[in-house]
Chains A and B, each alone.
Chain A
Amino acid sequence: MTTDTLLSVKNLAITFSTSKGPVHAVRGVSFDLGRERLGIVGESGSGKSQTGRAILGLTAANGKITADQMQFHDLDLRNLSKRDWRKVRGARISMIMQDPKYSLNPVMTIGDQIIEAYREHHKVNAIEAKRRALDMLAAVKIRDPERVFNSYPHEVSGGMGQRVMIAMMLIPDPEILIADEPTSALDVTVQLQVMAILDDLVRERGMALVFISHDLHLVSSFCDRVLVMYQGHVVEEIRASELDQAKHPYTQGLLNCLPKMDGNHAELPVLTREASWAET
């Protein structure tokens, strides 16, 4: 796309071999990512999460990835060694997981987990690492960083846990942050707070954000550009501000399914699918 492209993916396909035969989770996804906020929207099983994981080389062992191109700066992500992947993960590309209840280690303190993420990629002593971790906890607007630092994951709320997650994933200062449904497990009131914190930090640090969600509204309000996925294909790529001009019937259908504050209160239409969408 432009010269400041960080990541370029061409014709990415992921196939899982299962006992019931191959499952094609992603079939031919292409996109370029600059220093921008890219949303990937789709229903469950559309391949959006698998696309995110493939960028980190964390596809499950029974999955097979093929792509014409997966270029991150000068690194070809298609054939990185284990050692090289570890230099990319966390340090340069990171990911925020869905539910802090399961994605934080229950028997390690929050502080230890954040410090671990930082010291894996930066050679600093324990005191400096702790200072950094406390700063980072303050940056995600945690009022009492010291207390949270010494707490275990089960001792903090879901919203707090997700802020910890953001702190942990941003502390090594990655260039690309993938957020895989970062707010789906949270209460609606907390969702916006967490999104606002994430959005602030991403802007401040000039990172690229890949925001994976099924929530079209949320994605369009926090992203510059949106990819709409359906059954492993990208069916539409559109600027978030121009979402109301979406051409693909699936995107239009998704938009029509959402209730509006104004306008009539008639029954919401049900999305009708066509087999042709899954082809192309």
Chain B
Amino acid sequence: MFAVTRNASDGRKRARLFSRTGASLVRIIFSLLITFIGLLLVTFLIGRVLPIDPVLAAVGDHASEQVYQRVKEEMGLNLPLWQQFFVYISNVVQGDFGTSVLTSNPVLEDIKRVFPATLELATLATIIGVFLGVPAGVFAAINKGKWPDHIVRIIGLAGYSMPIFWLGLMGLLVFYLKLDWVAGPGRLDAFYVDFIEPTTGLMLIDTLIEGDMDLFWNAVSHIILPASILAYFSLAYIARMTRSFMLEQLSQEYILTARVKGISETRIIWRHALGNVMVPLVTVIALSYANLLEGSVLTEIIFAWPGLGLYITNSLLNADMNAVLGGTVVVGAVFIGVNMLSDVLYRLLDPRARR
């Protein structure tokens, strides 16, 4: 009888949860659409406001007036602004961001090539940052005011204050040049570059798909240094936030309740307190991840990492407006996506947010 009642109530609960999830899914998609249109509007306006003439960038300084006018017409720039915007939206929806002047490839193709490099770097950096930063923050919080707390604080402070280009160069100098523990700039040794077919564009996964362990370890030894350096920054931030969230939770009444029950201190910290810390922490982690996904220009330059940050910067310096706008839309879309993901996780972690 007992089992029957349990299943019945579980079933009802699940059905309720599903219908609620369905309704909120519709709401999420709707708000995503609105946000995305807003994003397109902003990038479009930025593109029109910037004092860069896309026609001039395409035809060059020495083109005749007729050529200039013809190209302007071909680009649709003689239409009223609102029409241009609709043309822009319908192009973007079809995946057409225009052609890059710099690389003469479609912008979408360029982004498909550079974004995975950034995605791979940012994801690995965030994973390292979370797996080291959260325990470090917890460790600091439970030893508040003692030496482990100070050590974590000093490491964090150093992470904040060291410029990333300096840290990157020092990392290369020590671990690549002197110790030879890691490989140098680039995603693979130059010798290997043509061996790999970009399936996902993520080097670590592509090499695994091909089953070539030599290539895989080569990719690992290339990514580990830039990823660690980026991770150091997100680690410093995550550890600091974890520490303060943890201290706040440990002073709550329910922690005392758990102690009264005779629960072990380990379980109190990692199950009770951290379960509550994860709720605000998820947002912090998501924002730091989104920041990295934007592409860290300096890191990408130092490590010759062909990522999004490098691509957008280069395009901007060369007045390649299509590429800049395309890149900006991608960055914006990534922010929206990561925010939505953190929203979903937030709901999963905090039952009070599931309404």
Q: Do the beta carbons of A154 and B9 come within 8 Å of each other?
A: no
Interface-side segment among B123-131, B239-247, B258-266 = B258-266
Chain A residues with Cβ below 8 Å from B5 are 146
Q: Do the beta carbons of B352 and A95 come within 8 Å of each other?
A: no
Chain A interface, >50% SS class? mixed
Q: Do the beta carbons of B264 and A105 come within 8 Å of each other?
A: no
B178 at interface by CB-CB < 8 Å:
no
A-B contact pairs, 17 of them (CB 8 A): A58-B259, A85-B262, A89-B261, A94-B261, A103-B256, A105-B272, A105-B276, A106-B254, A107-B349, A117-B261, A117-B262, A120-B261, A146-B6, A146-B9, A150-B13, A168-B257, A172-B262
B residues within 8 Å of A by Cβ? 2, 5-6, 9-10, 13, 252-254, 256-265, 272, 275-276, 279, 349-352
Within the complex, what minimum Cβ distance (angstroms) separates A125 from chain B? 14
Q: Do the beta carbons of B276 and A106 come within 8 Å of each other?
A: yes
Q: Do the beta carbons of A107 and B257 come within 8 Å of each other?
A: no
Q: Do the beta carbons of B264 and A86 come within 8 Å of each other?
A: yes
Known: A105-B272, A116-B263. A154 touches B256 (CB 8 A): no
A residues within 8 Å of B by Cβ? 56, 58, 82, 85-91, 94-95, 97-99, 102-108, 116-117, 120-121, 131, 146-147, 150, 152, 154-155, 165, 168-169, 172
Q: Do the beta carbons of A154 and B272 come within 8 Å of each other?
A: no
Q: Do the beta carbons of B272 and A106 come within 8 Å of each other?
A: no
**B258 touches which one: A56, A105, A172 (CB < 8 A)?**
A105
**B262 touches which one: A98, A99, A104, A120 (CB < 8 A)?**
A120
Known: A104-B257, A105-B272, A108-B272. A152 touches B262 (CB 8 A): no
Residue in A89, A131, A147, A172 with the greatest tally of chain B CB atoms within 10 Å: A89
| Residue in chain A with minimal CB distance to B279 | A107
Chain A residues with Cβ below 8 Å from B13 are 150
Closest 7 pairs between A and B when the two form their complex, measured CB to CB: A90-B262, A89-B262, A102-B253, A152-B351, A90-B261, A117-B261, A103-B253
A86 to B258 CA separation, bound complex (whole angstroms): 11
Chain B residues with Cβ below 8 Å from A94 are 260-261
Q: Do the beta carbons of B272 and A99 come within 8 Å of each other?
A: no
**B351 touches which one: A91, A95, A106 (CB < 8 A)?**
A106
A90 to B6 CA separation, bound complex (whole angstroms): 28
Residue in B6, B13, B262 with the greatest tally of chain A CB atoms within 10 Å: B262
Q: Do the beta carbons of A102 and B352 come within 8 Å of each other?
A: no
Chain A residues with Cβ below 8 Å from B262 are 85-91, 117, 120-121, 172
A169 to B263 CA separation, bound complex (whole angstroms): 12
Within the complex, what minimum Cβ distance (angstroms) separates B265 from chain A? 8
Chain B residues with Cβ below 8 Å from A108 are 272, 275
Chain B residues with Cβ below 8 Å from A98 are 253
A154 to B261 CA separation, bound complex (whole angstroms): 20
7 additional A-B pairs beyond A107-B279, A120-B262, beta carbons within 8 Å, are: A58-B260, A89-B259, A105-B257, A105-B276, A106-B276, A107-B351, A150-B10
Q: Do the beta carbons of B351 and A97 come within 8 Å of each other?
A: no
Known: A86-B264, A146-B9. A107 touches B276 (CB 8 A): yes
Within the complex, what minimum Cβ distance (angstroms) separates B83 from chain A? 52
Q: Do the beta carbons of A97 and B260 come within 8 Å of each other?
A: yes
A99 to B257 CA separation, bound complex (whole angstroms): 11
| Residue in chain A with minimal CB distance to B144 | A61
Q: Do the beta carbons of A102 and B260 come within 8 Å of each other?
A: no
